[in-house]
Structure 1
Amino acid sequence: MVSRVDGTHLVALITSPSSREALWLSLRTSAASTLVCVVLGVPMAVVLARTDFRGQAAARSLVLLPLVVPPVVSGIALLYTFGRRGLLGHALHVVGVEVAFTSVAVVMAQTFVALPFLVISLEGALRTAGQRYEVAAATLGASPSTVFRRVTLPLVLPGLVSGAVLAFARSLGEFGATITFAGSLAGTTRTLPIQIYLERFDDPDAAVALSLLLVVVAVLVIAPASRATVRHRRGTR
């Protein structure tokens, strides 16, 4: 892939205004969607790992559904739910709130497809850690919130970090659900993967250069987090 791009033009291609705008939008929306994934995914993982209730298998299947359906299908589902004529979107439109084809739609699409990665990672960490330390802390009089903050969270921190990194990486590379639900509006919804797709027709060299940029950014995000997780695990042995 590197050989396809003229080195003298590589810097110019990846630093053009449209490329920088798409990259910055991707980083902002991916960070926002990762935060939403943490807020929603932590309670989901705790419920799935620490409780036993009727319909748990169905609940887990719903959480993991975005992993098995095509991203375009996810985008259509979001569009028919939050679009102007959607189930919830119509009511939102009446009160002046637009969701589809906005930056919020980008974050929602990224969150929808990335959330299962965090839930799976954290649920596995919770099951591996077990409950003996939590039970001991509760026996000594610690409140549930204190147990979670002082015992559970430190135990599963590597799993949480890994899940958050995976969610960020998945959000960063999201294309199908985003273009279906949010469209391709420059500066608003045109993320880097969408920019790459559009450049593929107009300027193949730019598409290759931006693909390399996306790979580099992903590596820069994943590698430090992976090293930190490994160090944490070694330190707790």
Structure 2
Amino acid sequence: MEFITKEVDKAYGVSHKGKRENNEDNILVEKINDIYLLAVADGLGGHNAGEVASKIATETLREVFLTNNEDIESLLIKAYEEAHKRILEEAVGDKEGMGTTLTTAVIRGDKCYIANCGDSRAYLIRNGEIVFKTKDHSLVQALIDNGIISEEEALTHPMKNIISHALGVELKVDLYNLELKEGDLLLLSSDGLHDYVREREILDVIREKKEVKEIVNSLLELALEKTKDNVSIIVYKH
């Protein structure tokens, strides 16, 4: 399938194969009781194994939140560890070495909990400005952190696709805790968007469009003009 869309009342997501033959990304856009559960997973590995890994990640995440009652941060850690384990168990034969990024946002009331492994991203946008974003687990992020290259140079760096952590490869989970205000936007994306479309271009779309569906579709259109990768985008409006 060229692309899939998922929608709940305050959130809309799309995953598109972009310029690739297969879409190895997966998205989750769901409301479970009083929480919104949003996630982007970008699979890696040959022979469609990335597609398998990203599906395991989103399905495990959903399952953990449906069947457990612990606090949200504990559930996120549990979901990431379980998905990592399942991917490793499945990674045999032509699926050997498969893995996936996983960036998740869980919203309950005005609280937002974000977990990240890999180089998919979550942004919090308030009054048309980025006030928070996750930090990539990647080679170019390490170069940025060490002052070797700028964020602008990272967009065209020849090694921008090399990630240091992923589920099924080497697990590392960054957890963030945010307070949301009315009108805030959460944007989750795979690198098919943010590695090709500059942040100022993303913000221009967000300032111009009001509805989550319009924002996602406009960002997808922009990404498809430039990207060489699969593209996944989710927007939630508080």
* Richer in strand (by share): 2
TM-score by length of 2: 0.24
Relative contact order, higher structure (CA 8 A, sep 6+):
1
TM-score by length of 1: 0.24
- Name which one, 1 or 2, has greater alpha-carbon Rg: 1
